[in-house]
Amino acid sequence: QWYQRRVRGKSKESGTQIEVMSTKDVYMFPIMASGMLFGIYIIVKYLSAEHLNLVIASYFFIIGTWALSFIIRPVLGVIPGSSLLIDEEPYHMKFNKGSLVYFECKFDLLYVVSLVLSALFGVWYIVKKHWLANNVFGLAFSINGIEMISLGSVKNGCILLSLLFFYDIFWVFGTEVMVMVAKNLDAPIKVLFPMDFLDKGIFGSNFAMLGLGDIVLPGVFIALLLRYDASKGEGSQFYFWVSFMSYVLGMGMTIGVLTIFNAAQPALLYLVPTCVGIPLVTSLIKGDFSSVIAYDEEQQETPAVVEETECKKTE
């Protein structure tokens, strides 16, 4: 299982560095996010949107191409004949000065093909700014974000999402900041849904939008519960499915209220009670609450790291 192939700070399967949030990070996150959001708001409000969006489009072309290539590569890997592009000894690019390494990258020809296809897709995004291209980049960022971020423990996840519950309510209902940034920042930081899809199809222009934070932040909590399931060694994904279906329920509530009132809604107002509340209540009913709330990835992963070290010493 993926959990068993994962060591502290790094995924063995992809080689991606995993950022584990500490309790201090959890408490600081809403403050840092608020500062960044307000800073972007000031820029959008008082500077030329045209020049700002040009800079942002160039930036997201680069990181979007990179993020999408990591998603495309596994897909290309299942195509017959793709094994010819996978080298046992990959190319190694390294930029260093003495022992100080500034940049290091290992890749094979399959990754190069993935990067080229992603770059072509990025050109389509820059030229057309089509909502489908925006969504593909946005979902690529979301998948990479969920893989690269760990909340560390269920307690951290509950605290973070509870704080962001109030964060989202304040910035959406209490100010114009969140809505203005979302509407005026032309970048794949949101997923777009054409409300006039039935009339105009993929050429619709009246969009509802969902911020990537409303995907990634509940997503990392759901992924954490999946790893909790795996840590029990029972082959069950019970709490993952409970939390995943809770997310679907919360999103359905968000869309329903948005449709009825035709006004911007803070998605975390509905997602946090469902994604956090329902799994915790379920664990209470099943008698697993103390086990779930005490789950800490650092404590779970330490034995694996020690065991691997001992094996190396034995060899």
Tell me the per-residue pLDDT of 243-272, one tens digit each, with 9 for 90 and over.
999 999 999 999 899 888 888 889 999 999
Q: Which residues, 6 or more positions from 60, have their beta carbon under 8 angstroms from its beta carbon?
A: 125, 137, 187, 188
Range name among 150-159, 161-170, 197-206 with the lowest pLDDT average: 197-206
HEC string of 132-188 equals HHHHHHHHHHHHHHHHHEECCEHHHHHHHHHHHHHHHHHHHHHCCHHHHHHHHCCCC
Q: CA 205, 210, 149 angle in degrees (round to 5)?
A: 140
Confidence of residue 305 (pLDDT cuts 50, 70, 90): very low
Q: What is the pLDDT of residues 175-233, one digit of tens each?
A: 999 988 888 888 888 888 888 777 877 887 788 888 899 999 999 999 999 999 998 88
State the pLDDT confidence band at 16, using cuts at 50, 70 and 90.
Answer: low
Contact between 121 and 72 under an 8 Å Cβ cutoff? The reply is no
- Is 214 in the active site? yes
Considering the candidates 168, 186, 196, 199, report the single residue annotated as catalytic: 168
Q: Which pLDDT value is given to residue 184?
A: 82
Mean pLDDT throughout 113-127?
Answer: 89
Rounded-to-integer distance, Cα 281 and Cα 219, Å: 19
Active site residue: 214, 229, 288, 296, which one?
Answer: 214
Q: Which pLDDT score, from 0 to 100, does residue 313 have?
A: 44
CA-CA distance, 312 to 125, in Å (whole number)? 48
More confident residue, 202 or 164: 164
Per residue in 283-300, pLDDT (tens digit) is 999 999 999 999 998 776
Burial (CB count within 10 angstroms: exposed 0-12, middle 13-18, buried 19+), residue 158:
buried
The stretch 27-51 carries a mean pLDDT of 87
Residues 59-112: tens digit of each pLDDT: 888 888 988 988 888 888 878 777 766 766 677 777 887 778 777 777 777 888
According to DSSP, residue 234 is labeled: S
Is 87 in the active site? Answer: no
**Which of 292, 47, 286, 297 has its CA nearest to residue 158?**
292
Q: Which residues have C-beta within 8 Å of that of residue 248, sequence separation ≥ 6?
A: none
The Cα 315–Cα 304 span in angstroms is 17
Element (DSSP H or E) covering residue 93: strand 91-97
Cα separation of the two ends of the chain: 25
Single pTM value for the model: 0.81
Evaluate if residue 307 carries a pLDDT over 50: no
Q: Which residues pair with 131 in a beta bridge?
A: none
Report pLDDT digits (tens) over 50-69: 777 778 888 888 888 988 98
